[in-house]
A and B are shown apart, each in its own frame.
Chain A
Amino acid sequence: MKKILLLSLPLLLSARIEWLNSYTEAIKKAQTANRPILVFIESEYCSWCKKMKREVFTKTEIQRIINGNFIPLKLDKDRSSYPKELSVKLVPTTIFLTPEGKKFTRSVLGYWEPKSYGSFLSDAIRRYKKFSSKVQ
């Protein structure tokens, strides 16, 4: 049984991204899991956002990084409710939050292809480790 679980771990991690749509739910989940939140902000008529969803969030490497390190939250710039600190000029924007909802590193502005986006994610993970070790 244990073996089966272990063998299926990589598969589980590379499963599709289960985006939350509620800010408060994401905060709750992040605090329980003690993980940072990745907020992907999009809008209805945003072709670059669609390209991100089609070409980046479908890649197993990206899914593995996100599922293994973040609580993923997807918000609509115009329709979702969220604190005003998350207001953006440009979509897509990816924002990184601590479980308390504070930004701990720079946001990713616009569309980036998988390799670059993955590198931004690694930077954010590194920054979070540094940030949380300082706080505690």
Chain B
Amino acid sequence: MKKIALLFITIVSIGYSYSAKGMVTYKKLCYSCHGPAFKGAAMMESHEWRSLFANKATGLKALHENSQKAIERLNSSYFNRRAQALENFLINNARDKGIVRGCDGLNCG
């Protein structure tokens, strides 16, 4: 029983640190131009993030071709090492996935 609990805690904390890592990456690379992390993630739907990050983030780089500063960041080794964590964070908090703070009928989430 204890073992199972321990395993559970480990899995949850790995999952948590993974998304925390993605959020830290966002803050370092994207925050200065796109604002707070959850807002940044909510700019796109999860399937759009998936396609922007496909093929070594070709789509994401293409979106930024007019911004030298953004391109530098997207070509950095820091980005390459953390792209997967960043993608996971953005997908988990995308427009269609994140918690929306609004009212739908009489139900206010």
**What is A's interface to B at a CB cutoff of 8 Å?**
43, 45-49, 89-93, 106, 109-113, 115-116, 118-120, 122-123
Contact = CB atoms under 8 A, between A and B. Distances in A.
B95 interface: yes
A49 B34 CA distance: 24
B108 A48 contact: yes
Interface of B: 34-36, 38-39, 42-43, 95, 100-104, 106, 108
A117 to B, nearest CB: 8
A45 B106 contact: yes
Contacts of A111: 101-102
A123 B43 contact: yes
A46 B103 contact: yes
B101 A110 contact: yes
B39 A116 contact: yes
Contact of A119 (B36, B102, B103, B106): B36
Main secondary structure of the interface of B (DSSP, over half): loop
Contacts of A91: 102-103
A74 to B, nearest CB: 16
Given A109-B95, A119-B34, A49 B39 contact: no
A49 B103 contact: yes
B105 to A, nearest CB: 9
Contacts of A119: 34-36, 39
A93 B102 CA distance: 8
B42 to A, nearest CB: 8
A112 B36 CA distance: 10
Nearest to A119: B35
Contacts of A106: 43, 95
A70 B62 CA distance: 29
B36 A115 contact: yes
B36 A116 contact: yes
Contacts of B101: 48, 110-112
Contact of B35 (A47, A90, A92, A116): A116
Nearest to B103: A46
Contacts of B95: 106, 109
B35 A109 contact: no
B62 to A, nearest CB: 15
18 contacts: A43-B103, A46-B102, A46-B103, A47-B103, A48-B102, A49-B103, A89-B104, A90-B100, A106-B43, A111-B101, A112-B101, A115-B35, A116-B35, A116-B38, A119-B34, A120-B35, A120-B39, A122-B35
